């Protein structure tokens, strides 16, 4: 049986990754493929438990190395119990975030040396690299506005600082560093990465994603 394809979605907050992951998974299923739509951190009970700790901000005080180790602990479970078995059975995997997020959040924007992320990645991910990574690019101000509108908490329709998760609450400079790093990754690995303009309408972004899939795979 042919191995499934491994597709990852990357980018900053509110870029539309979750929305587009659901649209793409549905579109692929309509072609007759078996598809696993998943996310990081998460995708298995152990990884979801680690997600709760990470997004609550409880691990922040231990620094970017400890956070990166926790993201890789979650990734190890995700790979072992969900991603690799699916790929081996011919199922296509669409993951909302993967290793590039660690490179961007804990590495470039968080200050953890790239060499440390590379060691963790080699140990945990090994050869299970994405076949295609779509980078959703948009100005961070726009992404953060979308996130605030999605879950309004206050009377003014915006969320207060305490409503934001560990990473949403970081400075705009941090979010600009993330954007720069995702674009740097795309430039360094053009055979794996495609950048889409995530500021377009949902339908236009979905069309760009589908066009990238059709170009890369024989569908």
58 binds ligand Z5A (CB under 6 A): no
**Identified binder of ligand Z5A from the candidate list 58, 150, 187, 215, rule CB under 6 A:** 150
Across-strand partners of 6?
93
**Identified binder of ligand Z5A from the candidate list 23, 40, 43, 120, rule CB under 6 A:** 40
**Identified binder of ligand Z5A from the candidate list 105, 134, 175, 195, rule CB under 6 A:** 105
User: Looking at beta carbons only, is 10 or 92 nearer to ligand Z5A?
Assistant: 10
CA angle 102, 172, 170 (to 5 degrees): 55
| Helix (H) or strand (E) run with residue 131 in it | none
User: Looking at beta carbons only, is 90 or 141 nearer to ligand Z5A?
Assistant: 141
Report helix, strand and coil shares of the chain as percent, to nearest 5. Answer: 55, 10, 30
User: Looking at beta carbons only, is 91 or 145 nearer to ligand Z5A?
Assistant: 145
What DSSP character marks residue 38? E
16 binds ligand Z5A (CB under 6 A): yes
**Identified binder of ligand Z5A from the candidate list 97, 159, 175, 179, rule CB under 6 A:** 97
* 8 Å CB contact between 6 and 87: yes
What DSSP character marks residue 82? I
- In 3D space, the residue among 173, 18, 191, 184 whose CA is nearest the CA of residue 103 turns out to be 184
Residue 1 Cβ vs ligand Z5A, minimum distance, rounded to whole Å:
29
- In 3D space, the residue among 96, 136, 101 whose CA is nearest the CA of residue 121 turns out to be 101
Across-strand partners of 196?
136
Tell me, residue by residue from 161 to 180, as one string, x for binding to ligand Z5A by CB under 6 A and - for no binding.
Answer: ----x-xx------------
Number of H helices, E strands in the chain: 9, 5
What DSSP character marks residue 53? H
What DSSP character marks residue 3? P
13 binds ligand Z5A (CB under 6 A): yes
Residue 213 Cβ vs ligand Z5A, minimum distance, rounded to whole Å:
17
Residue 195 Cβ vs ligand Z5A, minimum distance, rounded to whole Å:
14
17 binds ligand Z5A (CB under 6 A): yes
Judged by CB under 6 A, the number of residues near ligand Z5A is 26
User: Looking at beta carbons only, is 204 or 219 nearer to ligand Z5A?
Assistant: 204
Coil, helix or strand for 132? strand
Could you list the residues that contact ligand Z5A (CB under 6 A)? 13-19, 39-41, 55, 71, 97, 101-102, 105-106, 146-147, 150, 165, 167-168, 201-202, 205
């Amino acid at each position: 049986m042919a191995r499934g394809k491994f597709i990852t979605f990357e980018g900053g907050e509110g870029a539309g990754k979750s929305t587009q992951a659901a649209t793409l998974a549905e579109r692929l299923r309509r072609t007759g493929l078996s598809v696993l739509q998943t996310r990081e951190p998460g995708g298995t009970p152990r990884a979801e438990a680690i997600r709760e700790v990470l997004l609550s901000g409880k691990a922040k005080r231990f620094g970017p190395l400890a956070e990166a180790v926790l993201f890789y602990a979650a990734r190890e479970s995700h790979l072992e119990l969900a991603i690799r078995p699916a790929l081996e059975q011919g199922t296509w995997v669409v993951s909302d975030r993967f290793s590039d997020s660690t490179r961007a959040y804990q590495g470039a924007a968080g200050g953890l040396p790239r060499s440390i992320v590379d060691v963790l990645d080699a140990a945990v991910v090994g050869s299970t690299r994405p076949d295609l990574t779509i980078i959703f690019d948009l100005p961070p101000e726009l992404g953060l506005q979308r996130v605030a509108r999605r879950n309004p908490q206050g009377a003014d329709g915006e969320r207060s600082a305490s409503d934001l998760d560990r990473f949403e609450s970081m400075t705009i400079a941090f979010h600009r560093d993330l954007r720069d790093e995702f674009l740097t990754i795309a430039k360094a690995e053009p055979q794996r990465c495609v950048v889409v303009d995530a500021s377009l309408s949902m339908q236009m972004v979905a069309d760009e994603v589908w066009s990238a899939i059709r170009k890369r795979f024989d569908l």
